[in-house]
Structure 1
Amino acid sequence: MWLSCCGTCRLCEVAAAPGARPGAAPGRAGAQDAVLCKPTERAPPPAEQERGEEVAAADYVPSDELGHVYAALMPANRLACQVSEATGLRIGDVLAMRTEQLRKGQRLTVREAKTGKSRRVYIPRLLHTQLLAQAGQEWVFEGRSDPTKHRTRQAVWADLKRAAKAFRLPQQVSPHSLRKVYAAGLWEESGDLGKVGKALNHSPWHPETTMIYAMAAELYRRKYGKGRG
């Protein structure tokens, strides 16, 4: 059963239309209405959806600010973040990439640790070359003290926080911010919420979660009054 966000926006009109598919993606204008309205009732997100606290604690970061943050990161952490931004993968899945898998080519099948879903991703050539150059015997991102384990998500998170603080960025920056940057770019390029949801491996039954990601740049501009870098 579809539960509308407010009953008056264009997303609700799409959902209530005769013959509408549950989870049908609205157009660009309808998505904006839904994100900016105040929900009155909504279905609880399924287990595979993003954790609410993780989403809320990660803001969008414009390209110019992100460039400054990258410059301040440790090389391996910067590379991991760049892969996350380019593919939309969660940072934990990036860090869990195995060297053997990477050597097979730029297209990888990644099994998401959080959802158990498989996803096919493409690693841009330059990033692929850099990944191979620093890859360890087993893991692409070896642990700093134990090469038999991969680098932890917490290590990248701490480095990102340090870099964001150094540049006094007002927003909440975390590895999950990169997933929002990826989604916002795909949304602004295509205007297709269904495409964004599919790329993020989101459930089609909960487009409101995808909208939080897709419109991250717009919400950032409204909150901080800045244009996208």
Structure 2
Amino acid sequence: MNTNQPWLPPGKNCGLCGEDTCKSFLRAVNATQKSYDDCPFYRNSEGCCTESESKCSYGPVDVLGNDYDFILKPLPGEISARKIVLPFRGDMVDKLEIKAGDIVVGRPMGAGCPIPHVLQVIKADPVTGLLYTWVVGPKYSRDRDVKDVVAYHMVGFEGIAGHIRKEPTLGYRHTFLPGFCMMNLNHTGLVNMVLQKEEGPHIRIENILILASKE
């Protein structure tokens, strides 16, 4: 991408680019130590996030032909729906010094997923050991320092419900398809937050399991 195009980071000072502030990030870009692509909020000339799910298309059913209530999509300007995970050993956050911006890899054991996921950390809670993350995909683990937690509990997701067939309802267990799921398999979870936003229902869903069949 052309790093000379006029663009400014959002001023969140989130640190996910590896810099403390957006201003220091811009200084690093100007010094050719960073590129705009290092900012997860960077948008290309088409207005799409560089690693978002905006180019994805979805069929009416999952890979096994099962219906879903909705597809869980990213919050505005984000890479993927947020994924909340808990390493099997909660002290791994301290032991590996996991912090915002780190790339973490591990498999969501217990929920039924056979595939290790590559995650970018939004927030690491040293008290609970919870990691709030985006799913960023395997290419992020290449030529980068990766912290391997091996296995984790899949606690929940947070994002925007789209392609809605059944409206997300507080306290209801829904069948949904995470927009980033490489296997294109339905999941189920209990909705425990619904906020009506312009983009659609902003929901949090926990107690996650993969739904392999209708039986």
TM over 0.5: no
TM-score (norm 1): 0.28
Q: Determine which structure has the larger strand proportion and give its number.
A: 2
Higher relative contact order (CA 8 A, sep 6+): 1
Bigger fraction of residues in helix: 1
> When the two structures are superposed, what TM-score results if normalisation uses the length of structure 2?
0.29
